């Protein structure tokens, strides 16, 4: 998209600030275990990481929900922990429990990480997946690349796994502040390069997932959630001025207010812990908002799914909006409920 050309894809139009009668829609984790075709492809790959690093199969699972539902955007199938693996962390997945990483807790561990320029060797299959998708997606579908935000990725690198309160990362931040800041700086730099490479391969939009931003309070939120996002976005915009960027500081609460303005993000994705009417009043005033149906509605279905979907569409109808969930769709979701959601949005 040139500086003078108006975007034509519905997602890009929303990100450019256009108010549309019917909001564009996609879902976080739309390629996933709720779909039988995904489960079959994952079995073919052998395991989750093998699927992430197999460009043909990763592209296939990315395309599956587009074929089934006709979403307005497709998001690259990968995982936020591929980046720390590319920086030298050991990464594996335990069935039924999730990811595990080798842990990092001090300056020595940070110093042992690979240089940023080395990440592309490990991540080259991801870029190949993006290239395949850029060729094979329907012309009207926007391709979204993504990465985890530095704080969220750091919490996994420090704890070696997901934790309820991100306690190990908070502990390192307090006990080893210089080492923690060095880790955040490395992740900020590497995330910028990773996203830039995805765009070079064909991604049209990128999204920064700060899944654990909600555990940062006050000045810590500013320093470790807002400022890294600001730095990544500024660096990307300096190289790629027309690149739309979505930021997702999940469970930020009142700190969603002004986040787009402070970071330079074109859109703020919101979780379902905040009300759509509140977000329309306080967050959408700065531009596009993405969200925020609670994922449990796609498990339970029924009239409540339709009513809540329509309520969210109405709440955001006076400003630019991308319909999405407040978090990723869960494995228990009924695929037929996704059709019902789309019917409620599109009529």
Looking at the DSSP bridge assignments, the partners of residue 321 are: 289
- Residue 328 structural domain: 10-346
279-290 pLDDT tens trace:
999 999 999 999
Give the chain's largest Cα–Cα span: 57
pLDDT digits (tens, 9 = 90+) for 265-313: 999 999 999 999 999 999 999 999 999 999 999 999 999 999 999 999 9
- Residue 3: its pLDDT value, please? 44
Q: Is residue 259 part of a domain?
A: yes
Pairing of strands 98-101, 91-94: antiparallel
Q: How confident is the model at residue 7 (pLDDT cuts 50, 70, 90)?
A: confident
- pLDDT, tens only, 180-205: 999 999 999 999 999 999 999 999 99
Annotated catalytic residue, options 29, 186, 250, 340: 29
**Residues comprising the chain, all counted:** 347
Considering only CA atoms, which of 281, 276, 232 is closest in space to residue 257?
A: 281
Burial status of residue 173 (CB atoms within 10 A of its CB: 0-12, 13-18, 19 or more): buried
Whether 1 maps to a domain, the answer reads no
Query: What is the count of structural domains for the chain?
Result: 1
Q: Which of 33, 68, 100, 161 is catalytic?
A: 33
Residue 260, domain member (yes or no): yes
CATH of the domain at 265: 3.20.20.210
Q: Is residue 16 part of a domain?
A: yes
The helix, strand and coil proportions of the chain, stated in percent and rounded to the nearest 5, come to 55, 15, 35
- Catalytic residue (choose from 38, 53, 127, 156): 156
Residue 2 is assigned to a structural domain of this protein: no
Q: Does 5 reside within a domain?
A: no
Q: Which of 39, 42, 68, 311 is catalytic?
A: 42
CA–CA gap between residue 236 and residue 255 (Å, rounded): 23
Q: What residues contact residue 222 under an 8 Å CB cut-off, 6+ apart? A: none
- What is the model's pTM? 0.97
The pLDDT of residue 111 is above 50: yes
Is residue 39 annotated as part of the catalytic site, yes or no?
Answer: no
- Burial group, residue 166, by CB count within 10 angstroms (0-12, 13-18, 19+): buried
Q: In the structure, what pLDDT confidence band is assigned to residue 5 with cuts at 50, 70 and 90?
A: low
- 197-245 residue pLDDT tens: 999 999 999 999 999 999 999 999 999 999 999 999 999 999 999 999 9
Domain for residue 32, yes or no?
yes
Which positions ≥6 away from 133 have C-beta within 8 Å?
Answer: 59, 62, 63, 74, 76, 143, 202
- Mean of pLDDT over the chain: 97
Active site residue 181: no
Residue 160, pLDDT above cutoff 70:
yes
Alpha-carbon torsion (75, 289, 162, 168), positive or negative = positive
In 3D, which of 211, 241, 213, 245 has the Cα closest to residue 230?
A: 245
Tell whether 224 is covered by a domain: yes
Assess whether 13 carries a catalytic annotation: no
Assess contact for 279 and 270: CB atoms under 8 A.
Answer: yes
Tokens of 330: 């869960």
The three-state secondary structure class of 329 is: coil
């Amino acid at each position: 998209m040139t500086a003078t050309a108006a975007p034509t894809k519905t997602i890009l139009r929303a990100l450019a600030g256009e108010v549309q009668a019917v909001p564009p829609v996609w879902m976080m984790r739309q390629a996933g275990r709720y779909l039988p075709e995904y489960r079959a492809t994952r079995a073919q790959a052998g395991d989750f990481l093998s699927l992430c690093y197999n460009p043909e199969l990763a592209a296939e699972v990315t395309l599956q929900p587009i074929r089934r539902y006709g979403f307005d955007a497709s998001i690259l199938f990968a995982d936020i922990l591929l980046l720390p693996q590319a920086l030298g962390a050991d990464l594996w997945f335990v069935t039924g429990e999730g990811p595990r990483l080798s842990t990092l807790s001090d300056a020595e561990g940070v110093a042992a990480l690979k240089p940023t320029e080395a990440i592309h060797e490990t991540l080259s299959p991801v870029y190949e997946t993006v290239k395949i998708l850029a060729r094979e997606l329907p012309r009207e579908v926007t391709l979204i690349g993504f990465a985890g935000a530095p704080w969220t990725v750091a919490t996994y690198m420090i704890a070696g796994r997901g934790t309820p309160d991100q306690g190990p990362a908070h502990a390192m931040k307090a006990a080893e502040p210089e080492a923690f800041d060095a880790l955040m700086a490395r992740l900020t730099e590497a995330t910028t390069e990773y996203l830039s490479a995805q765009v070079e391969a064909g991604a049209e939009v990128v999204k920064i997932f700060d899944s654990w931003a909600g555990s940062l309070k006050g000045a810590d939120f500013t320093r470790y959630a807002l400022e890294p996002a600001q730095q990544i976005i500024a660096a990307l915009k300096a190289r790629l001025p027309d690149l739309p960027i979505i930021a997702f500081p999940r469970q930020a609460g009142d700190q969603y207010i002004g986040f787009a303005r402070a970071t330079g993000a074109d859109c703020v994705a919101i979780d379902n812990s905040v009300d759509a009417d509140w977000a329309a009043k306080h967050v959408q005033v700065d531009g596009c908002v993405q969200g925020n149906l609670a994922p449990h509605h796609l498990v339970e279905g029924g009239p409540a799914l339709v009513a809540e979907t329509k309520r969210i569409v109405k709440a955001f109808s006076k400003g630019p909006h991308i319909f999405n969930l407040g978090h990723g769709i869960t494995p228990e979701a009924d695929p037929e409920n996704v059709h019902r959601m789309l019917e409620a949005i599109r009529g």
